[in-house]
């Protein structure tokens, strides 16, 4: 297929304001008021790596970084912490959760137009956003940040784009809900087109990629599509469900969250590469059941390890056993406002945002609300890397698109 013709226009945002928050000793008290919940998570100690033989009768007298072995109290075993935990305490013989900083330097850009729905970060000089942008006679469905300016681009036709997912500069995937496009670093190519005559719109609204041969697309009508590097294959699902979120870490651990909005049915699926099964399925109720059972209206899902799934509902963030949705722990407090986007760089670095631009960060131990952004904004999508957060949306008057860039 020949490359698609594109129209581009470079635009430097004029309506830009910068806010900065840094905690120092004089601001600590003010900073603490924004930390609105604290979760205590378990610490894990993994038994022996190396052991040192001590006296046969007396308990072992262990060096720093070692504990008495469970199997033999006369020997010492090195304390080895799981990924994203670190050795702590004075003797370095405990494991504490790694946390991420709440310190973020925020810059807000505006582009004339309407909604922006999603973002993808490659690096600080290579960022993509998608939606509906208008610059005079130029209409765009995506915009690219090169470190200094936003360049508005129209891919194929003036239709708003819904989602974007990037692996590298030469492999970026876009969707307008019906058509799927791939950017190879130089040209845009249409890769797939839906059968729009059936009246089901936004079939491929969401994208999540594991690697170049495992990319998933999903949306309304229970439509789920898998790309294996060569061809697209549909995964059968309940047609009454609208898929709202996809996450996963490998081809055997793909998670999809959906809603039957006619019945308020909340459903989470797990796809193991061959079979789609129901992980959780319940009718929404505003009643908070307890701290260990998933409940509430689900906004989004996230995972980066096989053992747990992080689920944002109006009752807070739940950390759930990936094998049992009734084995959950609620980590944060209830959210009164609607949240539209939930993402992170890892499970100790989760962001979510939504109506009125309210934005929160959970770092594994505490939840922090950013007061510097929001107000007359609605945030609809985001991407998070280790040091960058991009949040997109629209102003309340629907006159400008919003791009909030956060740096650490």
pLDDT value at position 242? Answer: 95
- Give the residue from 303, 200, 324 showing the smallest Cα distance to 255: 303
Phi, psi (degrees; rounded to nearest 5) at 30: -65, -35
The pLDDT of 201-206, averaged and rounded, is 85
d(CA 34, CA 42): 24
- 220 by DSSP, 3-state: which? helix
Topology annotation, domain 6-21+101-407: Methylamine Dehydrogenase; Chain H (2.130.10)
d(CA 354, CA 349): 17
CA 95 to each of CA 83, 300, 328, 342, 372: distance values in angstroms, whole numbers, following the listed order: 10, 29, 21, 28, 34
The per-residue pLDDT for range 342-355, each reduced to its tens digit, is 999 999 999 999 98
Share of the chain above pLDDT 90, in %: 57
Does 250 score more than 70 pLDDT?
yes
d(CA 381, CA 174): 14
The per-residue pLDDT for range 296-348, each reduced to its tens digit, is 999 999 999 999 999 999 999 999 999 999 999 999 988 778 999 999 999 99
Does 233 score more than 90 pLDDT?
yes
Farthest-apart Cα atoms in the chain, separation: 86
Burial code (b: 16+ CB inside 10 Å, e: under 16) for 396-408 equals eeeebbbbbbbee
Token pair 């962001």 in the structure block, residue: 351
pLDDT value at position 84? Answer: 64
pLDDT value at position 199? Answer: 65
Does 289 score more than 50 pLDDT?
yes
pTM: 0.81
- Give the residue from 182, 178, 175, 143 showing the smallest Cα distance to 161: 175
d(CA 10, CA 23): 36
pLDDT value at position 341? Answer: 96
- Give the residue from 399, 408, 330 showing the smallest Cα distance to 112: 399
What is the secondary structure of 134-161 as a DSSP string?
Answer: EETTEEEEEEEE-SS-EEEEEESSS---
CA 87 to chain centre: 27
* 88-102, 178-192, 309-323, 369-383: the lowest-pLDDT one: 88-102
d(CA 225, CA 3): 23
Token pair 């300016």 in the structure block, residue: 149
Does 29 score more than 60 pLDDT?
no
Does 220 score more than 50 pLDDT?
yes
Structural domain boundaries in the chain: 6-21+101-407
The per-residue pLDDT for range 82-131, each reduced to its tens digit, is 876 778 787 788 887 667 889 999 999 998 888 899 999 999 999 999 99
Does 268 score more than 70 pLDDT?
yes
Tokens representing 174? 């876009």
pLDDT value at position 21? Answer: 33
Does 72 score more than 90 pLDDT?
no
Q: Enumerate residues 6+ apart whose C-beta is below 8 A from 234.
A: 223, 224, 225, 226
d(CA 292, CA 167): 36
Cα atoms in the 13 Å half-sphere on the side-chain side of 341: 28
Does 151 score more than 50 pLDDT?
yes
> What share of residues in the chain are helix, strand, coil (percent, to 5)?
5, 55, 40
Share of the chain above pLDDT 70, in %: 84
d(CA 159, CA 24): 47
* 45-49, 182-186, 318-322: the lowest-pLDDT one: 45-49
Q: What is the DSSP letter of 71?
A: S
Does 60 score more than 90 pLDDT?
no
Does 274 score more than 80 pLDDT?
yes
Cα atoms in the 13 Å half-sphere on the side-chain side of 4: 18
Confidence of residue 373 (pLDDT cuts 50, 70, 90): confident
Question: Would you give the end-to-end CA distance of the chain in angstroms?
Answer: 41
């Amino acid at each position: 297929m020949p490359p698609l013709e594109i129209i581009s226009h470079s635009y430097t945002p004029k309506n830009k304001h910068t806010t900065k928050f840094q905690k120092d000793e004089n601001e600590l008290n003010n900073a603490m008021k924004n930390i609105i919940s604290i979760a205590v998570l378990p610490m894990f100690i993994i038994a022996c790596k190396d052991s040192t033989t001590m006296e046969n009768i007396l308990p072992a007298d262990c060096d720093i970084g070692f504990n008495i072995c469970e199997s033999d109290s006369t020997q010492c075993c090195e304390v080895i912490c799981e990924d994203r935990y670190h050795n702590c305490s004075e003797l370095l013989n405990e494991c504490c959760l790694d946390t991420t900083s709440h310190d973020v330097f925020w810059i807000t850009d505006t582009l004339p137009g309407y909604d922006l729905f999603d973002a993808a970060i490659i690096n600080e000089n290579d960022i993509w956003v998608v939606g509906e942008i208008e610059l005079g006679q130029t209409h765009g469905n995506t915009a690219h940040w090169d470190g200094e300016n936003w360049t508005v681009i129209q891919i194929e036709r003036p239709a708003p784009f819904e989602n974007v997912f990037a692996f590298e500069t030469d492999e970026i995937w876009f969707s307008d809900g019906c058509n799927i496009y791939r950017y190879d670093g130089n040209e845009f190519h249409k890769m797939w087109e839906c059968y729009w005559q059936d009246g089901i719109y936004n079939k491929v609204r969401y994208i999540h990629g594991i690697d170049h041969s495992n990319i998933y697309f999903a949306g309304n009508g229970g439509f789920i599509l898998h790309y294996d590097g060569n061809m697209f294959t549909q995964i059968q699902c309940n047609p009454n469900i609208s898929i709202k979120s996809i996450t996963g870490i490998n081809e055997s651990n793909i998670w999809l969250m959906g809603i039957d909005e006619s019945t308020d049915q909340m459903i989470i699926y797990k796809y193991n590469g061959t079979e789609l099964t129901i992980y959780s399925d319940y009718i929404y109720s505003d009643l908070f059941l307890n701290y260990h059972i998933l409940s509430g209206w689900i906004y989004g899902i996230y995972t980066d390890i096989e053992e747990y799934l992080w689920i944002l509902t109006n009752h807070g963030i739940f950390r759930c056993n990936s094998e049992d949705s009734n084995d959950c722990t609620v980590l944060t407090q209830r959210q009164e406002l609607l949240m539209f986007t939930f993402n992170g760089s890892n499970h100790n670095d989760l962001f979510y945002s939504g109506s009125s631009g309210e934005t929160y960060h959970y770092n594994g131990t505490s939840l922090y609300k950013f007061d510097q952004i929001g107000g007359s904004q609605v945030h609809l999508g985001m991407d998070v890397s280790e040091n960058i957060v991009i949040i997109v949306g629209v102003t309340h008057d629907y006159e400008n698109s919003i791009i909030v860039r956060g740096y650490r």
